[in-house]
Amino acid sequence: MNEHTVKSYEEELALLDKKIAQMGGLAEQLLGQALGALERRDPRLAEDVVLADKQIDTLEREIEEQVISMIARRQPMADDLRHIMGALRITTDLERIGDLAKNIAKRALAIADESHPKPLMSGIRHMVELALHQLKEVLDAYAERDADKALSVWRNDAQIDAMYNSLFRELLTYMMEDPRNIGISTHLLFGAKNIERVGDHTTNIAETVHFLVRGFNIADDRPKDDQTSSTLISGT
Amino acid sequence: MHTMVDKHADAVVHAKVAVGLPTPKVSAKDVNVYYGEKRALQDVSVDIPDRGVMAFIGPSGCGKSTFLRCINRMNDTIPICRVTGKITIDDRDIYDPKLDVVQLRARVGMVFQKPNPFPKSIYENVAYGPRIHGLSHSKADLDEIVQSSLEKAGLWNEVKDRLNDSGTGMSGGQQQRLCIARAIAVNPEVILMDEPCSALDPIATARIEELIEQLRKNFCIIIVTHSMQQAARVSQRTAFFHLGSLVEEGVTTEIFTNPKDKRTQDYITGRFG
């Protein structure tokens, strides 16, 4: 790709990517820390996550302001327009991911004194690991302008959904076994739902990257495997 | 009775209707323009629909104005200029030697970069064309044409009380709208505009753009512009010219959001040179 004749335009676009990368790195970090807080019942780490989320919010505002200013001053066209609009959309998804991580961390604070059922925790851990892997892949796809990589992230979200479905069933069973488990199980269920939502925002980013690179939206409907909204386990 | 050629033309029209494409108002096929030995335009083929705005964009010297001038045979006035290929309006070859060029230029009006009203009254500027083309039979006829042309050009309310004032004494934007009124007074079908706003301030430019928006309901408008934002705002289709070739032509929103050719992309995003 040739460079813009106006060098400052080039620099502004590069700055936009730098901020997105920074924001993406922070989102990854927060999600990892939120899991750590949950697993280790570490209230301090949880509080760190809540604070660090503010950094993401600040970056989101900065990117928004930069995008508005660039549209007003540069009147972007073609791939520049898609780049700038894409950055704006991605920044919204990353901000939401930050919020979801923060929410998981807050739940870690709420259930810090409870004993954690090991198999369920390992289910949550697997979900977070997959969500983190997906997030990393999609941020790479953005940085490398790799539409195929974005497409593969988009397709892989079904795995997170499947994990969520199975965790949902396990948590229901666990609650039925002993009503005293309901408190912690509900928190873990919300935690798992948040991770599933992180996966959805990641696929949004994948769609944006695909549009940014190829200039058209992904055609097929994404396979949605979250069946929990229609699942009921009846008591005996 | 249909000749073979007519039947063929009918078949083409039907085929286009069948796939939902409107018959083009102006159609160019393999147009080449030479200035002496130098080829200024290479194999340009494009269909321009009626009742819409087509924008020609491209860097200086790319051939867009040269091509525009082929459409009303303005290039005929340059002795060393030679045009080959075929340009039709409503399927009629405009380079047919039997065609009356004066009549053609009445059908294909032109507005230039610099407003060029005649050094006459506002009224006379508009009345001149209809009078020489015999479009009016009485003073009342002519008055009506002048008024409706000035109304269509969005100028009537500003000048109705001073129709006898000189056209050259108006502001640049008003002069340009007067030139548009003059062009539409002879009932053209196609209006060519060669950078019509480049000498105007943003407010006068906005007025011309609003006027183009109104006029496109009744005319086929082709505009050459250096402002890509203007092309994006006023046109439904855009053609990008580079080094004498038509690189890419398509729906304006497509060209400006997702152009197919890298040269188009480089030009509209400011990556040239």
- B174-221 residue pLDDT tens: 999 999 999 999 999 999 999 999 988 899 899 899 999 999 999 999
| pLDDT at residue A121, as a whole number | 86
CA distance A190 to chain B (A): 40
**Is the confidence at residue B15, as pLDDT, over 50?**
no
- A184-217 residue pLDDT tens: 899 999 999 999 999 999 999 999 999 999 999 9
- A34-61 residue pLDDT tens: 999 888 888 888 888 988 899 999 999 9
Task: Report CB contact under 8 Å: B271, A82.
Answer: no
Using a CB-CB cut-off of 8 Å, the residues of chain A touching B272 are: 2, 5
Question: Which DSSP letter does residue A221 get?
Answer: P
Question: Which DSSP letter does residue A228 get?
Answer: G
How confident is residue A149, by pLDDT bands cut at 50, 70 and 90?
very high
Kindly report the average pLDDT of chain B as a whole number.
91
CB B74 within 8 A of CB B87: no
pTM (2 d.p.): 0.81
pLDDT above 90 covers a percentage of chain A that reads 72
| pLDDT at residue B19, as a whole number | 53
Residue identified by tokens 């009921």 is: A232
Span B22-33, mean pLDDT?
Answer: 94
Span A23-35, mean pLDDT?
Answer: 95
Q: Which residues of A51-83 are buried (b: 16+ CB within 10 A; e: fewer)?
A: ebbeebeebbebbeebbeebeeebebbbbbbbb
**Is the confidence at residue A235, as pLDDT, over 70?**
no
- A122-135 residue pLDDT tens: 899 999 999 999 99
- Whole-angstrom CA distances from A70 to A57, A96, B265 are 20, 23, 18
| pLDDT at residue B113, as a whole number | 92
Give the ranges where B2-76 is alpha helix by DSSP (H). Answer: 4-18, 64-70
| pLDDT at residue A221, as a whole number | 67
Using a CB-CB cut-off of 8 Å, the residues of chain A touching B270 are: 4-6, 9
How confident is residue A116, by pLDDT bands cut at 50, 70 and 90?
confident
Joined together, the tokens standing for residue B119 give 């050094």
**Is the confidence at residue A233, as pLDDT, over 70?**
no
Kindly report the average pLDDT of chain A as a whole number.
91
Span B134-160, mean pLDDT?
Answer: 93
Using a CB-CB cut-off of 8 Å, the residues of chain A touching B265 are: 78-79
- A79-115 residue pLDDT tens: 999 999 999 999 999 999 999 999 999 888 888 777 7
In order of their start, the domains of chain A are 7-226 (1.20.58.220)
Using a CB-CB cut-off of 8 Å, the residues of chain B touching A76 are: 269
Rounded to whole angstroms, the Cα distance separating A169 from A236 reads 15
Task: Report CB contact under 8 Å: A77, B273.
Answer: no
- Angle at alpha carbon of residue B243, lines to B238 and B249, rounded to 5°: 20
Residue identified by tokens 């159609």 is: B27
- B61-109 residue pLDDT tens: 999 999 999 999 999 889 999 999 999 999 999 999 999 999 999 999 9
How confident is residue B160, by pLDDT bands cut at 50, 70 and 90?
very high
How confident is residue B149, by pLDDT bands cut at 50, 70 and 90?
very high
Rounded to whole angstroms, the Cα distance separating A157 from A207 reads 12
Strand partners, B240: B57, B248
Q: Which residues of A102-114 are buried (b: 16+ CB within 10 A; e: fewer)?
A: bbbbbbbbebeee
CA distance B248 to chain A (A): 14
CB B142 within 8 A of CB B136: yes
DSSP H or E stretch at residue B210:
helix B202-215
Q: Which residues of A178-195 are buried (b: 16+ CB within 10 A; e: fewer)?
A: eeebeebbebbbebbbbb
- What are the residues of chain A with a beta carbon less than 8 Å away from any beta carbon of chain B? 1-6, 9, 75-82, 215-216
CA distance B227 to chain A (A): 11
Task: Report CB contact under 8 Å: B265, A6.
Answer: no
Using a CB-CB cut-off of 8 Å, the residues of chain A touching B273 are: 5
Span A170-189, mean pLDDT?
Answer: 91
- B47-63 residue pLDDT tens: 999 999 999 999 999 99
The residues near B200 (Cβ < 8 Å, ≥ 6 apart) are B172, B173, B176, B208
Using a CB-CB cut-off of 8 Å, the residues of chain B touching A78 are: 256-259, 264-265, 268-269
CA distance B263 to chain A (A): 10
Of the given ranges (A73-77, A169-173, B1-5), which has the lowest mean pLDDT?
B1-5
Closest partner residue to B266 among A2, A81, A216, by Cβ? A2
Rounded to whole angstroms, the Cα distance separating B235 from B55 reads 6
Check: complex ipTM more than 0.85? no
Closest partner residue to B229 among A4, A75, A79, by Cβ? A75
B32 by DSSP, 3-state: which? strand
Task: Report CB contact under 8 Å: B270, A5.
Answer: yes
- What are the residues of chain B with a beta carbon less than 8 Å away from any beta carbon of chain A? 228-229, 232, 256-259, 264-266, 268-273
- Give the number of other Cβ atoms within 10 Å of residue B97's Cβ: 5
Closest partner residue to A5 among B256, B259, B271, by Cβ? B271
| pLDDT at residue B3, as a whole number | 46
Specify the CATH number for B22-268; select among 3.50.50.60, 3.40.50.300, 3.40.50.880, 3.90.1150.10. 3.40.50.300
Strand partners, B33: B41, B83
Task: Report CB contact under 8 Å: B257, A81.
Answer: yes
Joined together, the tokens standing for residue A88 give 């704006």
Strand partners, B190: B108, B220
Using a CB-CB cut-off of 8 Å, the residues of chain A touching B268 are: 77-78
Task: Report CB contact under 8 Å: B265, A78.
Answer: yes
- Whole-angstrom CA distances from A62 to A12, A23, A94, A212, B186 are 12, 11, 13, 21, 56
Closest partner residue to B256 among A5, A9, A78, by Cβ? A78
CA distance A3 to chain B (A): 6
How confident is residue A236, by pLDDT bands cut at 50, 70 and 90?
very low
